[in-house]
Structure 1
Amino acid sequence: MSQTPTPETDPIPGRIHAVPVPRPGRWISAVVIGVLAAMAVNGLVTNDNYRWDVVGAYLFDTRVVQGVGWTLLLTFLAMAIAVLLAVTLAIMRRSQNPVLRWTSWTYIWIFRGTPVYTQLVFWGLLSVLYPRLSVGVPFGPEFFSFDTADVITAFYAAVLGLALNEAAYLAEIVRAGLGSVDPGQSEAAKALGMSESKILRRVVLPQAMRVIVPPTGNETISLLKTTSLVLAVPFTLDLTFATNAIANRIFLPIPLLMVAAIWYLVITSILMVGQHYIERYYGKGFGSDGGTGRPGGGRRRAGRPSRQAAIRQSGTTTDDPFLDVTP
């Protein structure tokens, strides 16, 4: 068994024998965190007030699973609408037209400046404020009209309220992402004769996604939990209302709160995994980790050559790039 050579036995004279810096803080912090984690687990397992038997009985209850489905549907529909609206608002904020800029700013100011619960209550009372909605010429003839309560039901009011509120936050995220792209990219694309819309789609947005995706993932997770407020509309089929209704019936709120928390944690974990892969995809070419979070870009698939190796194999470049310009 070979031993590490000492300065006296090292065959290479003068070589530096570095000694790792002791880090006792790491061991102390690991012990403290381990003890706290063990205490937390012990408190969860041994405390009979959690009623884990009730948690297990209602974790996959039909009403709870249906509540999970409605919560996911609210989240994804509201997020899809919010993303489309946010991109539009961000482009308006960057427009040369002052009317578009101020319209976008006013929208963001209103929806970011009022609580989401208040907005949901407002959308729930929309049929009270406007019993009938019509489309036509202002102060002129109406083309058609409809009863608000028949069209904007509690579900659509909840989706609308969540989407319009979320769009105000996403618009600033998109605007920051668009502003992070070097203006020289757009200037170079204009020199090639590309239109403004094509520059935005093909040049600016793909590069801005690296900045846009992480906070958008956070907003998606936040929107998932904000769906617990749709009772203000009132919409009564989401996960939080379903578990609260069961808890009120059996007079055991804590186990049903744990059921809701477990489902929210599971969904959030899945969203975080998806966010990780999307970030890695749009992070390619930026930094040394290739968006993987690991030096060198992570593990390469077996049998798949690197980009540089593929370029050399194609024969389109010489081994010495300076051979044509140097003697």
Structure 2
Amino acid sequence: MNPNTPTAPASYGYKILKPVLSGFLQVALVGLGLYWLLNSGAEAMNYRWQWYRIPQYLWFVEDGEWFPAELLEGLLVTLKISTVSLVCTLAVGLATALLRMSDSIIGRGLARGYIELIRNTPLLVQIYLLYFVFGPVLGLERFTTAVLALSLFQGAYTAEIFRAGLNSIAKGQFEASQSLGLSYSDSYRFVILPQVIKKILPQLTNEAVSLVKNSSIVSVMAIFDLTTEGRNIVADTAMPFEVWFSVAGIYLCVTLVLSGFAAWLEHRLNVPEH
């Protein structure tokens, strides 16, 4: 064996480090470009940056203890809305996909109508209808209305993802599971759905990231999420650039963490790349 030949662990480590270093380099270059662009714009407008005031809106210390300030409190509300909405989105998407694939003409028609209605109308209009029209009639709270609006909107897109995943599974597997004595629900639970989830995990990740970003629109209902808190701080401090850049950075961190977790999960499940 040639002593100059790299060992397998070293080669594997290089394969891991290469994209990481490349990513850091790209981020650094983009960061420098943004820094130059922002400074040039600020000088042209005679704007004075006040970044030193941002930390007080992230956290504060009282009696030696750390507490979340407005932006982090808004982030917690955003995460709560997004988490509950994601669970409901998966349930709505799966139920709609099963209806579209059912033998019932009425079920297929209702599912198709729901998908077309949601996908061809703006989310903001749907939120206004739920909040100002159906909310008072049904006695829905703002949080419930926000979750319902996001779940129905994302559920329409998730339904098509589930349907594509279910269609990719051979019918023989369902027939084989029933021949083993499994019920209809158990066949889906133990045989079909685990395979479907592995196949559509990348697409579901995209929907989860989209849901987190779309959650910012529920601020129109005066829910004190991250976007609403940012708007209030801008009104009080007249620091639109610093505040909105900070809000955008927080959203970016959340979506990057979510994407990283999904990538790790895909690796653990050996999900093929699409």
1:125 match: secondary structure: helix
Shift in CA distance, 77/34, structure 1 to aligned 2, threshold 3 Å: closer
**d(CA) in 2 for partners of 1:254, 1:38:** 16
Shift in CA distance, 38/78, structure 1 to aligned 2, threshold 3 Å: closer
**d(CA) in 2 for partners of 1:34, 1:106:** 44
Residue equivalent to 2:157? 169
Residue equivalent to 1:153? 141
The Cα of 1:36 is off from its aligned counterpart by 4.8
**d(CA) in 1 for partners of 2:156, 2:228:** 26
- Which residue identity does 1:103 align to in structure 2? L
Structure 2 residue 105 is the aligned partner of structure 1 residue 90:
no
**d(CA) in 2 for partners of 1:110, 1:34:** 40
Which is greater in Rg?
1
The Cα of 1:283 is off from its aligned counterpart by 2.6
Contact 1:44–1:50, Cα closer than 8 Å, also in 2: no
Identical columns (%): 29
The Cα of 1:126 is off from its aligned counterpart by 2.3
Residue equivalent to 1:195? 183
Residue equivalent to 2:52? 53
TM-score by length of 2: 0.78
Residue equivalent to 1:69? 76
Within a 5 Å distance, the mapping from 1:1-327 to structure 2 comes to 36-37=29-30, 39-40=32-33, 42-43=35-36, 49-60=48-59, 62-126=69-133, 132=137, 148=138, 151-232=139-220, 234-283=221-270
**d(CA) in 2 for partners of 1:185, 1:247:** 57
RMSD: 3.0
- Which residue identity does 2:69 align to in structure 1? T
Give the paired residue count: 241
Worse-matched range after superposition: 248-257 or 57-66: 57-66
**d(CA) in 2 for partners of 1:184, 1:64:** 52
Shift in CA distance, 181/281, structure 1 to aligned 2, threshold 3 Å: farther
The Cα of 1:204 is off from its aligned counterpart by 1.0
TM-score by length of 1: 0.66
1:67 match: secondary structure: helix
Residue equivalent to 1:310? none
**d(CA) in 1 for partners of 2:146, 2:255:** 21
Residue equivalent to 1:140? none
Structure whose residues are more often helix by fraction: 2
Q: Give per-residue Cα distances to partners, 1:92-140, cap 9 Å, x unaligned.
A: 111111111111111111111111010001111125xx854xxxxxxxx
